[in-house]
Amino acid sequence: MKNIAYYNGKTGPIEEMMVPMNDRACYFGDGVYDATMAVNHVPMHFDDHINRIYNSARLIDIDIPMPKEEMKRILQSLIDQVEGDSLFVYWQVTRGVGMRNHPYSGAASGPSLWAWVRPNGMRDVYGAYRCITMEDTRFLHCNIKTINLLPAVIANQRAVEAGCDETIFHRGERVTECSHSNVHMIRDGVLHTAPCDNLILPGIARKHILEICREEGIPVVEEPFTVKELMEADEVFFSSSSAVTCRVREIDGKPVGMRDEATFARIRDAYQRKIKEECGK
């Protein structure tokens, strides 16, 4: 198949799937999601992503009755039906179906599982990317991977309009993350990344980058850093499940980084080896 979608046990092509109008996702964005790449039909860091969606759901009082292994089985069955060596896998759990009402206690049918899989290439890890910055005006629960993504949508649109690839958020001078990825910098051979508090999503790629740094003997500092420090860093890169490690060469029209390729390349190349070991490519 070229793609496949799933909603509470029903499957079909993405373009033909129908969902109830009263699913709380439609009115309130009342749900959480996760996503990863499947390489050679093997989902990258599958357990990490499954654990994160269950944690996100718990943080907004959604109790997913389905065991984690069952969710993995359903997603893998969808992956196995789609053609291609590189696939994007998306799934979300919403609070369920019920007449529109802000309070959710007893108002919904129980959680709904949505998912889809389609062919999608990963970003070029050998490219050099351009970014813009924007004030981070999102809410204070960015550690929860909710489907309320309008601020991120707008921020990424502004990047596209500027001919750039990603938007880097900051709250005042503190850099937080990007519109759909984490951002990191290298200074004097040390990786600097924002701490996992409520202002950033605990990225799965971020987690594995930190593991790689420990294995490679690259020091890591998980502390807030400023826009000024980012602009003056030896290297800047962003990461996500589909971007992995994307080197940044320009922010707000000004050249940045590109001064410590050796350290960045150690991280990039080690991550590529990790993907090959995990997924056979």
For the annotated catalytic residues, the residue numbers are 33, 145, 177, 201
- What CA–CA distance (Å, rounded) separates 137 from 141? 12
**Other beta carbons within 10 Å of 180:** 20
The tokens describing 94, both together, are 């919403």
**Burial of residue 189 (number of CB atoms within 10 Å: 0-12, 13-18, 19+):** middle
In degrees rounded to 5, what are phi and psi of residue 49? -70, -40
Q: What is the DSSP annotation of 249-261?
A: EEETTEE---S-H
Residues 263 and 269: their CA atoms lie apart, in Å, by: 10
**150: nearest Cα among 243, 238, 29, 56:** 29
What would you report as the CA-atom Rg of the chain, rounded to the nearest whole angstrom? 19
* Token output for 128: 């050099």
What is the separation of C-alpha 182 from the centre of its chain, rounded to a whole number of angstroms? 8
Per-residue DSSP letter, 274: H
